């Protein structure tokens, strides 16, 4: 069980105030202060810096807090797995990016659940960096992401994807085989947010050839891919998205997708999971389902 002093540390860090933390923990303020002092003695370092009205973590405190949260998550996970085992059930917490949310993921999860009546899934959507952090801290069992940014985890490649230009079917560019950057500069762009992996990749690709996003007419930035595609369908502009997120729309003749000249826009899709993940068979099964559905779509 997580040490009470570490639980107190987590709450103080959240509240940034000893008195509020004490109220939340149903302890006295001196008791909270004493527990933090004991931790500082145990670790031989100062954990908090007191300021007027609040407290902030020292660098050492940040490090200790990170481990405390990880231990807390592991304890919660252990309790849940014991409960699931006794009830012959398994609950998996799965993270997906907004791009993954728009491609094959829902079909894969549906088929996987049909194969395993004993499994339930809690799905969380966020940016790649946040999802990988949650996997590392055992807040997620695994995630579907499009970057490798933490070598402490296992990565299983699912697919190779790439960014494309997404156009309204009435655009004068639809009869072309490829879109040039000069042609894109004349269009109104509807893009993902700058913090999204799609946008980061596009901006970085421009920089490698001496271009900048500031040279383009970006009229709108949005986080929701479905919203972006709907705006393109209404001929409000063109977009840059992962092919996997809009291939179905293209096949149904709702949108047109074209490659972009002179840009390296290849990206890979991974299942990322902790090295001590217990259900390795599930990873291989999900990968197999992904390949099967991908092949069916290509036929």
* Average pLDDT of span 86-99: 81
Q: Where in the chain is the domain with CATH 3.40.190.10?
A: 75-159+269-298, 161-267
* Average pLDDT of span 230-237: 95
pLDDT for 291 beyond 70: yes
C-beta separation of 36 from 9 below 8 A? yes
Question: Which tens digits make up the pLDDT trace of 124-150?
Answer: 988 888 999 999 988 999 999 888 887
C-beta separation of 161 from 188 below 8 A? no
- What is the Cα–Cα distance from 147 to 263, expressed in whole angstroms? 18
* Average pLDDT of span 97-111: 77
User: Beta 266-273 vs 154-167: how paired, if at all?
Assistant: antiparallel
pLDDT for 298 beyond 60: no
Residue with tokens 């807040």: 139
Other CB atoms within 10 A of residue 176 CB: 16
C-beta separation of 61 from 5 below 8 A? no
- What is the Cα–Cα distance from 242 to 246, expressed in whole angstroms? 7
User: Structure tokens of 260?
Assistant: 């972009």
CATH topology of domain 161-267: D-Maltodextrin-Binding Protein; domain 2 (3.40.190)
Other CB atoms within 10 A of residue 11 CB: 17
pLDDT band for position 59 (cuts 50, 70, 90)? very high
Burial 128-137 (b: 16+ CB within 10 A, else e): bebbbbbbbb
- What is the Cα–Cα distance from 75 to 70, expressed in whole angstroms? 9
CA-closest candidate to residue 262, choices 216, 211, 189, 186:
211
Cβ contacts of 259 within 8 Å, gap of 6 or more: 162, 164, 165, 178, 179, 265
User: Structure tokens of 195?
Assistant: 């913090």
Q: Please state, rounded to an integer, the average pLDDT across all residues of the chain.
A: 88
CA-closest candidate to residue 93, choices 143, 141, 144, 155:
141
Range 75-159+269-298: architecture per CATH: 3-Layer(aba) Sandwich (3.40)
Distance between the two ends of the chain, CA-based, in angstroms?
Answer: 53
* Average pLDDT of span 147-161: 86
What pLDDT does residue 86 have?
65
Residue with tokens 């992904």: 290
Range 4-71: architecture per CATH: Orthogonal Bundle (1.10)
**Angle ∠(203,233,172) on CA atoms, nearest 5:** 75
* Average pLDDT of span 207-224: 93
How many residues are present in the chain? Answer: 299
- What is the Cα–Cα distance from 252 to 179, expressed in whole angstroms? 21
What pLDDT does residue 165 have?
95
Question: Which tens digits make up the pLDDT trace of 192-209?
Answer: 999 888 898 899 899 999
C-beta separation of 226 from 103 below 8 A? no
- What is the Cα–Cα distance from 253 to 24, expressed in whole angstroms? 56
Give the predicted TM-score (pTM) of the model.
0.61
User: Structure tokens of 50?
Assistant: 């007191």
Higher pLDDT, 151 or 187: 187
Q: Where in the chain is the domain with CATH 1.10.10.10?
A: 4-71
Question: Which tens digits make up the pLDDT trace of 12-55?
Answer: 999 988 889 888 888 888 888 898 999 899 899 999 998 877 89
What pLDDT does residue 87 have?
63
What proportion of the chain, given as a percentage, has pLDDT over 90?
38
């Amino acid at each position: 069980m997580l040490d009470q002093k570490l639980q107190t540390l987590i709450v103080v860090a959240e509240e940034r105030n000893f008195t509020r933390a004490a109220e939340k923990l149903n302890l006295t303020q001196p008791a909270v202060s004493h527990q933090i002092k004991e931790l500082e003695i145990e670790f031989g370092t100062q954990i908090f810096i007191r300021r007027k009205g609040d407290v902030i973590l020292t660098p050492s405190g940040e490090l200790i807090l990170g481990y405390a949260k990880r231990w807390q998550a592991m304890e919660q996970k252990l309790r849940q797995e014991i409960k699931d085992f006794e009830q012959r059930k398994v609950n998996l917490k799965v993270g997906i990016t907004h791009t993954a949310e728009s491609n094959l993921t829902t079909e894969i999860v549906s088929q996987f659940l049909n194969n395993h009546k004993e499994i339930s899934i809690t799905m969380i959507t966020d940016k790649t960096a946040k999802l990988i952090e949650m996997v590392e801290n055992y807040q997620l069992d695994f995630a579907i992401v499009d970057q490798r940014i933490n070598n402490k985890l296992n990565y299983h490649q699912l697919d190779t994807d790439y960014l494309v230009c997404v156009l309204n079917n009435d655009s004068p560019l639809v009869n072309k085989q490829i879109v040039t950057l000069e042609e894109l500069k004349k269009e109104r762009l509807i893009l993902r947010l700058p913090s999204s992996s799609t946008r980061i990749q596009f901006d970085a690709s421009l920089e490698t050839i001496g271009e900048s996003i500031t040279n383009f007419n970006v009229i709108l930035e949005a986080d929701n891919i479905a919203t972006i595609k709907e705006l393109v369908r209404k001929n409000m502009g063109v977009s840059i998205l992962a092919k996997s997120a809009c291939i179905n729309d293209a096949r149904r003749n709702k949108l047109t997708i074209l490659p972009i000249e002179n840009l390296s826009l290849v990206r890979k899709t991974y299942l990322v999971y902790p090295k001590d993940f217990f259900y390795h068979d599930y990873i291989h099964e999900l990968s197999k389902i992904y390949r099967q559905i991908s092949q069916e779509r290509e036929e």
